[in-house]
Structure 1
Amino acid sequence: MATLRDVARAAGVSHTTVSNAYHRPGKLSAAVRERVFQAARELGYHGPDPLAAGLATRRVGALGVLFTEALAYAFTDPAAVLFLQGVAGTSELADVGLTLIPAPPESPASGATATDAVSRAVVDGFLAYSLSDDHPGLVAARARGLPLVVVDEPELRPGDREPYIGVDDRDGARQAAAHLTGLGHERIAVLADRLAADARSGPADRARLEAIGFAVARLRIAGYRDGLPAGRAVPVVECGGNTADLGRAAARALLDQPSGRRPTAILAMTDRLALGVLDAARELGLDVPADLSVVGFDDLPLSVGASPPLTTVRQPLVEKGRLAARTLLDLIAGTAPAAQSLLLPAGLVVRDTTAPPPAAS
């Protein structure tokens, strides 16, 4: 196998010149670069070993994205896709790549395997995206001592040093609940994707609500309560995950009962769950919004094209990814980030799935 020194001998230049041709081409004339590359082609040399280069510079040119779902989720969940678009768009400007490190709940990857994956990851730093409290992958990332940025969750605790990029989930949820209250709704239910790593489905009792393991769920449920009249209880139903099918199943259980008992409005913790609610309402012959009002959270592009278009809470998913990546790149470069903790605003977008409750209810 040809080496850099073999290319240097064949091209009649120093090994430093060959290295410059690949890493600092501006230092050489076009003619010298072409002589080096021609010799490399003839010898079958494909360039310096990136691992060896990384050992020399202590940089590998990759950011690790640690998230609490299976790998397929990163490519199929619209919110995750938009976040990663923001990350990748920024990363490309800085000539670095992305390494996805999945660590889903209730699987081997959520225990020692997640720790091993983080410990072995060849990256310059980590983006910890939407992890549960005390997630083993986050513990492992902190132990590596590499630059680290936490995105969305967990919430930073006293003594945590890494930058945090998030969204004002509590205020966004408050706006959603206040909107329904203003329309006159009293029987309101909440659909949550999951409250803990076990991904249980069904109504959440008091003990379950007091032990929520995901900060975003805690904040959104607290925000919904903020937007309701003081003391009004709001039932919370876990869906076991974040898909439209799971939202549809949970909504059917809530809605398939006499009109005087079923909720007149549902606050879905994500747009995907909210779209499932719309499916359930159609299957049960309920009109949205005449019989049922629905509010989501995220403002995904597909929410505008829903039937009817979905009232939801908008969060800046692409911008969140861009800011998170920019912050991590600054840390890797040894530059202090613009902000240690940044909370992006969330705002209600009223469309066609909310209206006053039915007069008879």
Structure 2
Amino acid sequence: MSSSRRITLKELAHHLGVSTASVSNAFNRPDQLSHDLRERILAEAHRLGYRGPDAKARSLRTGRSQIVAVLLADSLAYSLNDAVASELLSGIAEVLDAHGHTLLLSGRQTNDRIPGSAGIADGFIVYGLMPSPSLLGDLPSQHPQVAVDFDISGQASVHVDNEPAAHAIACHALRTPPRRAGIINLRLTEQACNGRIGPGQTLLSASQTITRARLDGFYRAFDEHGIDTTAVPMWNVEENTHEVCTPVIEGILDLPDEERPDLLMCMSDRIALTVLTLAERRGLRVPEDLRITGFDGIAEGQYRAPCLTTVRQDSVEKGRIAARMVLGLEPEASRLLGTELLIGESCP
């Protein structure tokens, strides 16, 4: 065999005495082969300089690229550093790896259009709180689409039980009646708002943001405990990061004693952890002076002291389910996953 040209899949299969399908599966569908056979094929392919089936040729032949695109409402840098988003992506990647598919990530687009490279994907997982309507209109309707943490009309979605979970944690917190309760939301307003939500702000619907479903759960608990929701102040943060949360939370904690909430219900653990850090810097005791609740159940909130009272969601499993739907491994039907209330020291 001449070393001046690239060995073909068929030639490698003949050389190894296996079928061409086995060679293809070794690169694209490892679950179809025994470990030993796959390792033998890959080792010999490496020795002979065979890099795998030609993706362009396969795509033209089958009409499939074996690529799944994940469209993110946030930037790639933010999503990879956010604990909840990174767990979701881990679950997606786990399923795609097992079935020989490639993950294509696309972060927030400044022009509200999907990049041309995403057009070759066999299916799409759209994750985020407020995807652009024009971006969704670009998705090829003939390819599977699954939404995570929001809804696309006519398409399957994967959610956790946000409203019941928020109701459960609020009921727990309200067992000890607060003097002044407050809520810190994440991206709840139609217009950008990094601060207190005033009467002129319009709130997004529960189909647009999971924050609204969580707020509905909080409000249901307040009503059941005889608390006037119109008297509960709310703040909004535009990004789930320490840097963006900090000025909003500093403004809350620096209120006069008679105005500062003694219970802050936060829409994410990242927000809650920022409250906890800034409260401690000001000498506020948690939970004696200030009780705090979060939502997500990220590891950081459970490892530090005092640990957070929060709701744990299985973001890895959300990713697995979305990926299996896109690959046709389970029906494209909307799923609602359960959560777990974790009682920590921040709101015992």
**Bin for the TM-score computed over the shorter chain:** 0.7 to 0.9
Structure 1 distance, partners of 2:282, 2:99, is 51
- 1:64 aligns with 69
Is the 2:13–2:23 Cα contact (8 Å) retained in structure 1?
A: no
Q: Is 1:323 aligned with 2:316?
A: no
Output one character per residue of 1:133-162: Cα deviation in whole Å (capped at 9) or x when no partner: 653322222x34211111111x35xxx332
- 1:119, 1:144 within 8 Å by CA — same for their partners in 2? no
CA contact (8 A) 2:9 2:20 kept: no
Q: Are 1:203 and 2:196 counterparts?
A: yes
- Given the superposition, is the C-alpha separation of residues 23 and 347 from structure 1 closer, same or farther in structure 2, using an over 3 Å criterion? closer
Paired residues in the alignment total 328
Partner of residue 96 from structure 2, selected from 91, 100, 115? 91
SS in 1 for 2:201: helix
Report if the CA contact (8 A) 2:188-2:203 is conserved: no
- Check conservation: 1:264, 1:291, Cα contact below 8 A: yes
Partner of 1:221: 215
Question: Displacement, 1:176?
Answer: 2.0
Q: Cα offset for 1:209?
A: 3.8
- Paired residue for 1:180? 173
**Aligned letter for 1:146?**
H
Alpha-carbon distance in structure 2 between the residues aligned to 1:225 and 1:164: 25
In structure 2, C-alpha distance between the alignment counterparts of 1:305 and 1:253, rounded to whole Å: 27
1:37-91 deviation per Cα after TM superposition (whole angstroms, max 9, x unaligned): 68x966x553432111121112222211111011112221001111112112222
CA contact (8 A) 1:195 1:214 kept: no
Q: Cα deviation per residue 1:72-113 (whole Å; 9 max; x = unaligned)?
A: 12221001111112112222221212111112xxxxx1434x
Residue 351 of structure 1 corresponds to 344
Secondary structure of residue in 1 paired with 2:182: strand
**1:272 partner amino acid:** R
Given the superposition, is the C-alpha separation of residues 314 and 21 from structure 1 closer, same or farther in structure 2, using an over 3 Å criterion?
A: closer
Match of 1:239 in 2: 237
Residues 244, 274 of structure 1: 8 Å contact kept: no
**TM-score with structure 2 length normalisation?**
0.83
Name the counterpart of 2:111.
Answer: 111
Deviations 1:187-213 (A, max 9, x none): 111112322576430111234243468
The CA distance in 2 between the partners of 1:48 and 1:253, in whole Å, is 58
Runs of 5+ consecutive residues of structure 2 not aligned to the other structure: 27-31
Aligned residue in 2 for 1:359: none
How far apart are the structure 1 equivalents of 2:23 and 2:59? 14
Hey, what's the Cα distance between the residues in 2 that align with 1:199 and 1:254?
Answer: 19
CA contact (8 A) 1:101 1:118 kept: no
CA distance in 1, matches of 2:14, 2:284: 78
Give the letter for the 1:111 counterpart.
N
Shift of 1:120: 4.0
Q: Which runs of 5+ in 1 are unaligned?
A: 104-108, 356-361
Displacement, 1:265?
A: 0.6
Once residues 243 and 272 of structure 1 are traced to their aligned partners in structure 2, the CA distance between those partners, rounded to angstroms, is 7
Q: Answer yes or no: is 1:102 the counterpart of 2:115.
A: no
What's the counterpart of residue 257 of structure 1? Answer: 255
Q: Are the structure 2 counterparts of residues 20 and 85 from structure 1 closer, same or farther at C-alpha, using a change threshold of 3 Å?
A: closer
Aligned equivalent of 1:303 = 301
**Aligned with residue 291 of structure 1, among 289, 299, 318:** 289
Map 1:128-139 onto structure 2 (within 5 A): 128-132=126-130, 134-139=132-137
| Structure 1 residues 301 and 57: alpha-carbon distance in aligned structure 2, compared to 1, 3 A threshold | same
**Are residues 1:51 and 2:67 paired?**
no
For residue 74 of structure 1, the aligned residue among 75, 79, 83 is 79
SS of alignment partner, residue 345 of structure 2: coil
State yes or no: 1:276 paired with 2:274. Answer: yes
State how far apart, in whole Å, the 2-side matches of 1:138 and 1:248 are: 32
Shift in CA distance, 283/316, structure 1 to aligned 2, threshold 3 Å: same
- Counterpart-to-counterpart distance in 1, 2:78 and 2:148: 17
Structure 2 residue 146 is matched with structure 1 residue 145: no
Q: Which residue of 1 aligns with 2:164?
A: 171
Task: Return closer, same or farther for 1:283/1:135 CA change in 2, 3 Å cut-off.
Answer: farther
C-alpha distance in 2 between matches for 1:340 and 1:191: 32
Give secondary structure in 1 for the equivalent of 2:341.
strand
- 1:340 is paired with a residue of what secondary structure? coil
Counterpart code for 2:5: A
Quick check: 2:204–2:212 contact (8 Å CA) kept in 1? no
TM-score, normalised via structure 1 length = 0.80
CA root-mean-square deviation:
3.2
CA–CA distance in 2 between the matches of 1:128 and 1:12?
A: 39
Residue identity in the other structure for 2:146: V
